[in-house]
A and B are shown apart, each in its own frame.
Chain A
Amino acid sequence: MSRVTSRSSVCHVGRGRTFAAVATVTQQPAQRGAPNTGRFSSSVVKKAVMAVSGIIMILYLIAHMIGNLKAFSGAESFNEYSGWIRTIGEPAVPTQTVLWIIRLVLLASVVAHFWAAYSLWAQARRARPVAYVTKKRVQQSFASRTLRWGGTIILLFIIWHILDLTVGAVNPAGGDTTPYERLIASFSNIPITLFYVVSMLLLGLHLRHGIWSAMQSLGQTNRRRERSVNALAYVVATVLTAGFLLVPLSIAFGLID
């Protein structure tokens, strides 16, 4: 009992024997930051924003993938489809109205998705200030691990993709061409095709975990639905990736020209 502190009192228990009653003092550390009550400061709400914006983008991707397959019915059909997107709703609404509504909704989705991702990434960094010396993965999937940097590459891909095939600024055939000409010019080029293929594979991984995560974030999964939600994630991810790869690979291998 040599470590009796000033807080301890020494009690005498008969025959000169003593014991020290060591007071236990619980030191309550100051609370680290007051809770934020703002709706969008909640990490769960951020996840819901991520889920909803993700679902909007997936719906667009399905339509986009189906549209791409027009490349198999020839230049005329493909260019006509591209023109139709710009004239939907005419003459009730001016040219490109519907297209711009779609573009603005997508832009809002991308911004919301990115904001939620960045904000959660920053929170996760604060949540592990000291890294483990040894850390093993118990069950996490490759897809779940690649979500953050995979998403960043997909964002860069989208920017390049718009400059290439929509605007034509970085297209080998230039901007003053038909959509079909730009399509053929891009995918006759091996480095561009490879970048596209890598991005689509990352998109597939992103969707594999993203769809499951979105359903979970919106509180729609449970033990009974777990298998079907995972199956849905696999099917949508595979169909979209394969569908998007079909056209560029067909051009690269000379099936379409």
Chain B
Amino acid sequence: MNLTLKVWRQVNPTVKGKMVTYHVTDVSPDMSFLEMLDVLNEQLILDNDDPIAFDHDCREGICGSCGLMINGIAHGPQQTTTCQLHMRSFSDGDVIDIEPWRSGGFPVVKDLVVDRSSFDRIIAVGGYISAPTGTAPEAHSVPVPKQDSDAAFDAATCIDCGACVAACPNGSSMLFTAAKVAHLGLMPQGQPERDTRVLKMVAQQDAENFGGCTNIGECSAVCPKGISMETISRLNHDLLGALRAGAVPAS
């Protein structure tokens, strides 16, 4: 099939970008979306043009590197990662708009690549547990209720792709932060830092120029891992609980 792509081209963070139109021919419906972009890039290289920069790594939907705004929906029309989206989701003659994630916390590096180190800094302030190193302890020594372990696992499926931020009308990273807070806060091993973790991670998220949550639910609807809005409620509950318990985030 033949497609018309309108792609956001931006040379570097300081220069203003714009949408540029490209035509791709002979696209196989079995190609992944990224393979289709690879084909376009090969064509651009042959034409001595600058290939389109985009992030990708595993192409198996598990690493969280890829992520594009496709026709106004984060990761495109299927609720999956961009690499797992196939061209059979489109039809011949389609015009596809491709843009980078847009948020104050995700400045554009080049074209479709954004700097997601803000996520690393949110993780760095609280996304850990204090556990003794050395030999792994006997797994059965700390019982975890099945319900809690299931909920923690659901939250732990977050791959940090940033689609939640991209889709949010407020540019908020709440679903991401909530997934980390719920993932660690539900486990017995995560209890010592539970109160300070939520306070620090939310403070960092606010400082990174992400917006506040207004419970609209766009994030959960595009999340490739289907992390639910319940996770955000859990974060709110934990944060208010931490304040009631008198926890103060050490700066």
Q: Contacts of B125 on A, CB cut-off 8 Å?
A: 35
Would you list which residues of chain B between 222 and 245 have a CB under 8 Å from chain A? 222, 228-230, 232-241, 243
Interface segment, one of A90-98, A194-202, A219-227, A240-248: A219-227
Q: How far is the CB of B18 from chain A (nearest CB, A)?
A: 9
Q: Is B91 an interface residue (CB 8 A)?
A: no
Partner of B102, one of A39, A41, A132: A132
Question: A residues within 8 A CB of B240?
Answer: 44-45, 48, 218-219
Q: Is the CB of B215 within 8 A of A144?
A: yes
Assuming A36-B203, A127-B103, is B170 touching A216 (CB within 8 A)? Answer: no
Choose one: A32, A123, A135, A219; the contact of B237 (CB below 8 Å). A219
Instruction: Report the bound CA distance from A213 to B99 in whole Å.
Output: 30
Contact of B218 among A31, A39, A138, A147 (CB under 8 A): A138
State whether B104 touches A28 (Cβ < 8 A).
Answer: no
Chain B residues with CB under 8 A of A139: 217-218, 221
The 8 Å CB contact of A120, one of B167, B212, B243, is B212
Listed stretches B30-38, B42-50, B65-73; interface member: B65-73
> Which of A109-157 touch B at CB < 8 Å?
120, 123-124, 126-141, 144-145, 147
The count of chain B contact residues (Cβ–Cβ below 8 Å) is 62
B111 at interface by CB-CB < 8 Å: no
B8 contacts the other chain (CB 8 A): yes
Number of interface residues of A (CB under 8 A): 53
> Which of B170, B203, B209 contacts A37, CB < 8 Å?
B203
> Which residues on A sit within 8 Å (CB–CB) of B97?
133-134
Chain B residues whose C-beta falls within 8 Å of the C-beta of A130 in the assembled complex: 102, 108
Chain B interface (Cβ within 8 Å of chain A)? 6, 8, 19, 69, 71-73, 97, 99, 102-105, 108, 115, 117-118, 121, 125, 167, 169-172, 199-200, 202-218, 221-222, 228-230, 232-241, 243, 248-249, 251
A-side residues, CB < 8 A to B, are 28-29, 31-37, 39, 41-48, 120, 123-124, 126-141, 144-145, 147, 209, 212-213, 215-223, 226
17 A-B pairs with C-beta separation under 8 A: A32-B105, A36-B207, A42-B202, A43-B206, A44-B212, A44-B235, A45-B240, A127-B210, A128-B171, A130-B102, A136-B72, A213-B214, A216-B232, A217-B215, A217-B236, A219-B239, A220-B233
